[in-house]
């Protein structure tokens, strides 16, 4: 993406048109273009409108130059015009930011109209079961597990990829929801307090699932208390007869849920032993060929032995959440077991990929939070008698917790990994410190300047039988 204008528009889009964050990162990057962007600029109507307004602003600048210099002196007009063109090309982001401000009233009105239409349409489906999922981590996996199990009885519609904002969900309702849908499963994302409350006003969940709370997006929320209050909006803003499904393994969920419950019926899931959990897990077995794991589940329904291709231990907790909701919606044990047997691994989330020379690659590149990292390291430790290599750039948006979070990653890795490959940035020195201070051999730490060079260099590091785990892939706006 050599074009500076296109590159700056791409960054603006990555930051969801947040002008303050956009300008901060633009200045930090010193207006550099993206040589090898991970994604492409999407030419939406909004981006085209920003380009049109920016062109109008440049035209106004030209008229100003003509009125102040051009009429009297053609040379000065040409000189100032050339400077204006050069500045506008190299620092186009300032024009784009101003264009976003100009566009804001119309953009807000259009968004509110879309939300209004979506709310009115959703209200027409009185028999629709809505499952809302939020949390700092694990939303996508549990969404896919729920969809897979419930599809054995119902027509299920779910939000796709990371389209978990109010506008993304509204468009899903407007474009895809119809009378044939029995169950609607929605990821509900939040960057600030009030986001999930707004989503609950568009469509009310019958089941609210809270996966967990950590320091993810702490830079945006400002404090963990704000994060707690934001995530619990999915409980505090639903009807009294809604059913609440909580992760018993998450300390902040267990510590805070009674503040927001309001007498609603509550169920607990989890993969670790906890007295709150509604089902128990026993006889776990991990398959070191990367094919998955098995366990026996016991509780209100006699599920028995199940096998899953997922590598993370947490999957048993997610399956328990699926069983709880499935039982509440009337699925039989046979339907539940069949749904569990058909679950497939999710791309880029502890996804097992068999490489050459018996090298097993675990793609965890979409995992960007501390709880996910802990699970990834725990999973890596399960590969006994195999050399373990861990590749990471660390986490983003950890705010004031950056040192603590990454030192802890290094500390955990020091007891598991044989080699650690770091993609250098502001976070990785803290990982290295955690490794070294906990007895890890410095010669087994390898650093690369970027993801591309790390991926190219890994083939010279691995050997037959290795397990290589790729954890997190920083978006372009964090590089």
Asked whether residue 217 carries a pLDDT value surpassing 70, the answer given is: no
At the top level of CATH, the class of 351-478 is alpha beta
Fold matches, 123-341 and 351-478: no
Q: Rounded to two decimals, what is the model's pTM?
A: 0.86
CATH fit for domain 123-341, picks 3.90.1150.10, 1.10.3760.10, 3.40.1190.10, 1.10.8.50: 3.40.1190.10
Say yes or no to pLDDT of 185 above 70: yes
Q: What per-residue confidence (pLDDT) applies to 356?
A: 81
The contacts of residue 153 (CB under 8 Å, 6+ apart) are 326, 329, 330, 331, 335
Q: Each residue of 127-184: pLDDT tens digit? A: 999 999 999 889 999 999 999 999 999 999 999 877 788 999 999 999 999 999 999 9
Q: What is the pLDDT of residue 1?
A: 45
Ranges of each domain in the chain? 4-110, 123-341, 351-478
CA distances from 87 to 20, 24, 31, 80 (A): 20, 18, 12, 10
pLDDT digits (tens, 9 = 90+) for 375-423: 999 999 999 989 999 999 888 766 677 898 899 999 999 999 999 999 9
Residue 475's pLDDT band (boundaries 50, 70, 90)? very low
Q: Which residue, among 46, 45, 44, 35, has the nearest Cα to 1 in the 3D structure?
A: 35
Q: Token digits for 478?
A: 């964090």
Determine the Cα angle at 445 with ends 444 and 447, to 5°: 140
List, in order, residues 6 or more apart from 264 with CB less than 8 Å away: 235, 238, 240, 241, 242, 243, 244
The 445-448 sheet, strands edge to edge: 351-354, 360-364, 467-471, 388-392, 419-423, 445-448
Residues in CB range of 40: below 8 A, 6 or more apart: 10
Lowest mean pLDDT among 26-30, 248-252, 314-318, 439-443: 26-30
User: What are the CA-CA distances from residue 114 to residues 44, 119, 126, 442 (Å)?
Assistant: 16, 9, 20, 55
Interatomic CA distance for residues 466 and 430, integer angstroms:
26
Query: How far is Cα 313 from Cα 310, in angstroms, rounded to an integer?
Result: 8
The reported pLDDT for the residue numbered 319 is: 96
């Amino acid at each position: 993406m050599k074009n500076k204008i296109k590159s700056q528009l791409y960054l603006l889009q990555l930051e969801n048109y947040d002008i303050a964050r956009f300008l901060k990162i633009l200045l930090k990057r010193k207006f550099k273009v993206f040589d090898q962007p991970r994604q492409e600029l999407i030419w939406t109507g909004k981006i085209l409108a920003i380009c049109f307004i920016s062109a109008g602003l440049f035209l106004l600048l030209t008229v100003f130059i003509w009125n102040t210099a051009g009429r009297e002196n053609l040379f000065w007009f040409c000189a100032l015009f050339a400077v204006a063109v050069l500045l506008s090309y190299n620092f186009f982001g300032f024009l784009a930011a101003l264009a976003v401000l100009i566009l804001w009233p119309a953009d807000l009105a259009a968004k509110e109209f879309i939300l209004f239409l979506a709310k009115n349409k959703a209200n027409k489906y009185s028999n629709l079961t809505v499952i809302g999922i939020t949390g700092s981590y694990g939303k996508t996996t549990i969404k896919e597990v729920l969809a897979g199990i419930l599809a054995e009885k119902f027509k299920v519609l779910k939000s796709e990829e990371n389209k978990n904002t109010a506008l993304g969900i509204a468009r899903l309702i407007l474009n895809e929801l119809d009378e044939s849908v029995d169950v609607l499963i929605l990821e509900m994302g939040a960057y600030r307090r009030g986001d999930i409350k707004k989503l609950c006003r568009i469509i009310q969940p019958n089941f609210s699932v809270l996966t967990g709370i950590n320091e993810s997006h702490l830079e945006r929320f400002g404090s963990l208390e704000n994060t707690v209050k934001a995530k619990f909006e999915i409980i505090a803003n639903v009807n009294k007869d809604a059913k609440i499904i909580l992760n018993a393994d998450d300390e902040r969920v267990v510590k805070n849920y009674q503040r927001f419950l309001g007498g609603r019926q509550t169920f607990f899931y989890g993969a670790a032993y906890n007295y709150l959990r509604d089902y128990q897990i026993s006889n776990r077995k991990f398959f070191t060929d990367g094919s998955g794991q098995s366990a026996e589940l016991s509780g209100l329904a006699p599920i028995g032995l199940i096998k899953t291709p997922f590598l993370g231990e947490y999957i048993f907790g997610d399956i328990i959440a699926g069983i709880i909701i499935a039982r509440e919606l009337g699925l039989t044990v046979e339907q539940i077991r069949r749904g569990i047997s058909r679950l497939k691994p999710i791309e880029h989330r502890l996804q097992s990929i068999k490489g050459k020379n018996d090298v097993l690659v675990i793609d965890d590149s979409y995992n960007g939070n501390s709880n996910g990292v802990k699970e990834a390291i725990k999973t890596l430790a399960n590969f006994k008698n195999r050399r373990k290599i861990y590749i990471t750039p660390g986490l983003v948006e950890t705010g004031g917790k950056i040192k603590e979070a990454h030192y802890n990653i290094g500390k955990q890795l020091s007891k598991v990994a044989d080699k650690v490959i770091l993609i250098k940035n502001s976070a990785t020195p803290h990982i290295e410190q955690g490794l070294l201070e906990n007895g890890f051999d410095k010669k087994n730490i390898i650093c690369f300047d970027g993801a591309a060079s790390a991926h190219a260099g890994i083939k010279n590091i691995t050997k037959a039988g290795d397990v290589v785990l790729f954890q997190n892939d920083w978006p372009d706006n964090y590089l």
